[in-house]
């Protein structure tokens, strides 16, 4: 008997049509598995339109959270990030099936996914709680934008260097001239922050990393601070710049802007098979010896 009564399947789109036949077969097999376990399967509305499996109930992504006990995401890490932000308020756990390139978050391999999903649905899993960060952009004392990130928020320049002031817990840290700055959760330290030279933080750490992007002064180095820290970034000089949320949402910035970042009250739970090992995953994805 399954630990979960209702499960949702959410696919990768808008490039979904490129792999639509594969996803249709995959979701049909998940449907057979759910029937065997007497579990109701719900398909996210856009996913169902792409694969045309009308025998299953569908719901828009915005309505799925309160209706199901767990969501299976078929795609890559980018799909996981977008779905995680959409479902964070419902607090349902996520299972990721990797159809992307890396699979740091969507870690189930398609060759073993059915046995692993079978195991997870029976309650034999590792629950992995991941921190999110809240970002608020304040202009002329008004909050003009706010969002949550599972990976990171990036303040990025356009064609020229940007000059930033960094304040942590009301203490001035430094000014820097650079291509930008990455404020990352432990989850996001294997994303853009890693390619910019930042440290890898284990997901269980209650910490936030701050990584400069190509700083003009080489002594500007990445740092990690307590997860309870409040980070403020002020723009001192820029020609053009934007804030990027998980690499998926871009918001144009202004010289008047103050960007406030802190740990969110909610977190995201990812379910792994009971043989999951974070270090083994890193070893495989990063080609360590």
Give dist(CA 84, CA 148) in Å, integer.
10
Catalytic residue among 21, 63, 77, 246: 77
Q: Are 36 and 115 in contact (CB under 8 A)?
A: no
Query: DSSP label at 263?
Result: E
User: Alpha-carbon distance 147 to 209, whole Å?
Assistant: 18
77 catalytic? Reply is yes
Contacts 24+ apart (CB under 8 A), 199-206: 199/224, 200/282, 202/278, 203/128, 203/130, 203/131, 203/278, 206/131, 206/263
3-state secondary structure of 207: strand
How many residues appear in the chain?
289
Alpha helix ranges (H) inside 161-259: 192-195
- Judge contact between 7 and 39, C-beta under 8 A: yes
Which DSSP helix (H) or strand (E) runs through 96?
Answer: strand 94-98
**Residue positions annotated with a catalytic role:** 77
């Amino acid at each position: 008997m399954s630990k979960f009564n209702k499960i949702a399947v959410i696919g990768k789109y808008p490039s979904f049509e490129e792999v639509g036949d594969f996803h249709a077969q995959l979701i049909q097999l998940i449907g057979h598995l759910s029937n065997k376990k007497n579990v109701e399967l719900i398909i996210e509305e856009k996913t169902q339109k792409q694969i045309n499996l009308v025998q299953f109930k569908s719901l828009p992504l915005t309505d799925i959270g309160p209706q199901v006990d767990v969501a299976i995401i078929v795609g890559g890490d980018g799909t996981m990030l977008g779905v995680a932000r959409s479902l964070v308020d419902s607090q349902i756990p996520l299972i990721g099936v990797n159809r992307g390139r890396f699979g740091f978050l969507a870690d189930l391999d398609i060759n073993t996914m059915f046995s692993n999903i079978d195991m997870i649905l029976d309650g034999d899993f590792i629950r992995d709680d991941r921190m999110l960060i809240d970002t608020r952009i304040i202009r002329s004392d008004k909050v003009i934008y706010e969002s949550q990130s599972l990976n990171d928020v990036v303040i990025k320049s356009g064609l020229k260097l940007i000059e930033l002031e960094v304040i942590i817990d009301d203490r001035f840290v430094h000014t820097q001239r650079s291509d930008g700055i990455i404020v990352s959760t432990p989850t996001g330290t294997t994303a853009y922050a890693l390619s910019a030279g930042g440290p890898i933080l284990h997901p269980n750490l209650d910490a936030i990393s701050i990584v400069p992007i190509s700083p003009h002064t080489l002594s500007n180095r990445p740092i990690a601070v307590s997860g309870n820290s409040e980070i403020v970034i002020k723009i001192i000089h820029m020609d053009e710049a934007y804030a990027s949320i998980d690499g998926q949402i871009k918001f144009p910035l202004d010289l008047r802007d103050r960007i406030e970042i802190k740990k969110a009250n909610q977190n995201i739970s990812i379910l792994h098979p009971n043989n999951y090992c974070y270090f083994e995953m890193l070893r495989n994805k990063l080609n360590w010896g």
